[in-house]
Amino acid sequence: MIKTIKLKFGRGFGSAPEEINTTPVTVFVGPNNSGKSKALAEINYYCSTGQRNTTDVILDSAVFDTFAPEVVEEKIRKVTLQPQLNEALLPDYILVGKKGTRNQVPRQQLVSILQNTNSQPQQFCQWYLAFNTLILDGRSRINLIGQQAAGDLQLPPQTSFQFLFRDDIRACLRTFATLEKRVRSS
């Protein structure tokens, strides 16, 4: 989803941010207290809201990948929720969300935003990316080992645990594990 991020490093005034081309699994490595968790928190906030927080000190900017028209319908299907009993839905709107969050959004506007994700980052993040972002920081990694219901794995993921069972994420994690083994053995 994120194509590139620009991160600010060091305390030097005016130093240019470092642009990082991301992959489906991007790993931050560094010593304790070097800003890894802060960078992840800032990126996660931006991916949830489409805005930088006023307290951001590391994230400079993020650029998102766009979706080809032929995959947009599948992306929309994965975040669409069914209306609940007695829930009114405006004409030409759909419900998107996860974990109790339900947003009515204009369907055609969502299609347009997914094809041009950087044109309206707030809507893209709030209507789509917030429901497809997984942060594996110290706290959430520990939560993964706790007992959780598997739920219906055919439906869009509702928890971090369910998110890990998506086929595309599993493939990325296998690739990462293979690379990690190679690095450790060399």
- In whole angstroms, how far apart are CA 123 and each of 25, 47, 116? 24, 10, 11
For residues 98 and 84, the answer to whether their CB atoms sit within 8 Å is no
Percent over 90 (pLDDT), the chain: 31
* Tokens standing for residue 163: 């998110």
Higher pLDDT, 181 or 104: 104
pLDDT tens digit sequence for 122-156: 999 999 988 887 776 666 666 666 666 666 656 66
Which letter does DSSP use for residue 132 in this model? G
Number of H helices, E strands in the chain: 7, 6
Q: How many CA atoms lie within 13 A of 152 on its CB side?
A: 3
What is each CA distance from 66 to 49, 70, 121, 138, in whole angstroms? 17, 12, 11, 30
- What per-residue confidence (pLDDT) applies to 56? 86
Averaged confidence pLDDT in the chain? 81
- Which of 22, 12, 18, 27 lies closest to 173 in space, CA to CA? 27
For residues 139 and 46, give the distance between their C-alpha atoms in angstroms, rounded to a whole number: 19
DSSP code for 145 = T
What is the pTM for the complete model shown? 0.70
State how beta strands 80-81 and 2-7 pair: unpaired
pLDDT of residue 121: 93
Side chain identity at 78, as an amino acid letter? K
